[in-house]
Amino acid sequence: MPDTMTKLRVVYGEEQLGLHGAGFDYLFDYGQGPVSLVINGKEWLYRAPQPAFWRATTDNDRGNGFSRSAAQWLGADLFSHVVAMSITADGQTVPQPLAPANNDFGPGATADTVGVSYTYETPTNPVAKVIVRYTVAAGGALTVRVRYLGTAGLPQLPAFGLRLVMPTPTTRFDYAGLPGETYPDRRSGSKQVCTVQGMPVTPYLVPQECGMHMSCDWVRLTRETTLNNADHADTPYTLTVRGADGPFAFSCLPYLPSELENATHLEELPPVRRTVFTVYGAVRGVGGIDSWGAPVQPAYTIPSDQDCEFAFVINP
């Protein structure tokens, strides 16, 4: 028997790579990215994570024309796609495991560490690249490293992060960070442990970017339900995300930016069905000098021609 107490059990499937251990089962689709993160029997992904570039237009964004000048990033948020992926096991590159080559891996494959890396291209002009690298350690610790490659000739980014859509609503979340809804240019308060019930959408008259939490060390999401028809439990269960390179920002909302973007009133948003959890490496300020033209101060913008990298860890 393979040593799955201290090593990862690795399954080189036809379309996905499986990494398994005590209390966790991860599936990495070769074409899309991770499609399943099951921890203690509960699924945490509805679809593969995607790089996040857009924020739903704020009143100030509309007033100063930022959404118009940055519109390419809305397309990038919706339609970026994987153009390359690679796998390493214990530091060794694994050729893409398609049949018949994967016939040789057999049922007993193990590894101490497996890395899966996806390269995304944006539908922008010029094209920009994002590399998301997932590294899984034997105990199931999943480190996610996200890197935007600076590209000249593109507008400032509305946001940069990695978005994880989860199958059912988050019922509460706790985090260590700044209290309330904060942005780089509106970050009052001192770091503390905060609890938020549900996934509140700040009821601005016109739905817009909201719910950002800056300078966080960790966040713990709690859900109670799954989509698994055979799972009848409603016991709360959690997922904890920690910053790997230092503090991070996140939002935990029931809607995608594109859904918020389309609504003129709160009640036009659909019933809450899923969790849209986004970890940000860069957040643009909201501004405030006026709502009809004043730009966000340069210190609070995200330049497109510089790299942006952040990392976080999920522990089972």
| Binding stretches for another protein (CB under 8 A) | 58-60, 63, 179-189, 202-206, 208-210, 265-267, 285-291, 294, 296-297, 300
From the number of C-beta atoms within 10 Å of its C-beta (0-12, 13-18, 19+), residue 209 rates as buried
How near is the Cβ of 191 to another protein at its closest, in Å? 14
Taking the least distance from each CB to another protein, the nearer of 89 and 210 is 210
Taking the least distance from each CB to another protein, the nearer of 265 and 273 is 265
Distance from CA of residue 112 to its chain's centroid? 25
The first and second tokens of residue 310, run together, are 């952040």
Backbone angles phi, psi at 188, to 5 degrees: -70, 165
How near is the Cβ of 178 to another protein at its closest, in Å? 10
Taking the least distance from each CB to another protein, the nearer of 151 and 202 is 202
Taking the least distance from each CB to another protein, the nearer of 245 and 290 is 290
Contacts for 147 with CB less than 8 Å, ≥ 6 apart = 130, 131, 132, 133, 307, 308, 309
Taking the least distance from each CB to another protein, the nearer of 50 and 64 is 64
How near is the Cβ of 141 to another protein at its closest, in Å? 33
How near is the Cβ of 238 to another protein at its closest, in Å? 25
How near is the Cβ of 185 to another protein at its closest, in Å? 3
Taking the least distance from each CB to another protein, the nearer of 38 and 302 is 302
How near is the Cβ of 45 to another protein at its closest, in Å? 28
The first and second tokens of residue 249, run together, are 């920002």
Distance from CA of residue 253 to its chain's centroid? 12
DSSP annotation of 91 reads T
Place of tokens 């904060």: 182
Taking the least distance from each CB to another protein, the nearer of 97 and 184 is 184
Burial 257-282 (b: 16+ CB within 10 A, else e): bebbbebeeeeeeeeeebbbbbbbbb
Q: Whose CA is closest to 283, among 241, 243, 244, 251?
A: 251
How near is the Cβ of 272 to another protein at its closest, in Å? 15
Cα gap 128→123, rounded to integer Å: 8
